[in-house]
Amino acid sequence: MRPDDANIAGNVHGGTILKMIEEAGAIISTRHCNSQAGEPCVAALARVERTDFLSPMCIGEVANVSAEITYTSRHSVEVQVNVMSENILTGAKKVTNKATLWYVPLSLKNVNKVVEVPPIQYARKEQEDEGKKRYEEQKLDRLETKQRNGDVILPVINPDRQTKEPHTVSYSQSSLIHLVGPSDCTLLGFVHGGVTMKLMDEVAGIVAARHCKTNIVTASVDAINFHEKIKKGCVITVSGRMTFTSNKSMEIEVFVDADPFVDEPRERYRAVSAFFTYVSLSKEGKPLPVPQLLTETEDEKRRFEEGKGRYLQTKAKRQAQMQQAAQQ
């Protein structure tokens, strides 16, 4: 990890790690989908399950990313990716991330055609049954998320923050506009999922830093749903806003909207959506209290309560896992 991979405190950006995770997932999925005779294809990212950043990675450490296919349906691939950091001076290693990604194989001849996925062999019948259950759950959640995507974040360009109250949603709300070029894209001319996630993390990080004015790091990312492909030549607007704060964490909602820019009559559309969670750290790397979010409108209050529900649900799930681990 080099200095340009990290923030000013030396912690590697969450978006950089997400990009590495997606690259590993795309490689193993594409290899598998082309492992048998058939129509050549490229695996496209459809969804990333909730991803926790278990331990920070720092400048000078070596990242080791490993990927394994854990389930296949007729038209999708589930990939488990693990990230480990290594201090090459001491040899110390630690797990920093575990992520589950879903890919669909798109034909090289027709980008709108999803080809069939070669099946994998399972060591036990239970593994296939568990994988099928995860597949059905993510499929339902993707559908529900897409139905909620009528919400809009208006882009913020050069706002006068001196006229806004600190710790409000409007004060920290941020946007980034990016023209999709060839280096951002796959062989099919669509944006790499990792490129999109890196931009999303950058915007979420700006929102968190503006709210706290301290060193901040990505703690987790809720499920990232890729609703539609983003084509080369599109102008994408990545927008983020604070939705919820607990004592020591912040939830930021991030949308990616795409505007076809070259030879496309289509109007703007919602391409990706997710919730990022950040924590504030002291110079010693210890968690700091987070300024509480000041909600001003009914919509902001509603989003705050929804974020609180997600926070309590995640907290309860984590406590249950810890109790289960203690009993084993």
Task: Indicate which residues carry an active-site annotation.
Answer: 7, 201
CA gap 113, 257 in Å, rounded: 23
CA gap 68, 223 in Å, rounded: 19
Cα atoms in the Cβ-side hemisphere of radius 13 Å centred on 263: 3
CA gap 152, 228 in Å, rounded: 16
Q: Taking the alpha carbons of 267, 261, 47, 15 in that order, is the dihedral positive or negative?
A: negative
Q: Residues, the chain, total?
A: 328
Long-range interactions of 314-323: CB distance < 8 A, separation 24+: 314/50, 314/220
Helix (H, G, I), strand (E, B) or coil at 2: coil
Give backbone dihedrals phi and psi of 293, rounded to 5 degrees, phi first.
-75, 130
For residue 255, the surrounding DSSP H or E stretch is: strand 250-259
DSSP-assigned states of every residue in 38-101? S--EEEEEEEE--EEE-S--BTTPEEEEEEEEEEE-SS-EEEEEEEEEE-TTT--EEEEEEEEE
Closest CA to 45 of 73, 23, 68: 23
Start-to-end C-alpha separation, the chain: 36
CA gap 328, 325 in Å, rounded: 5
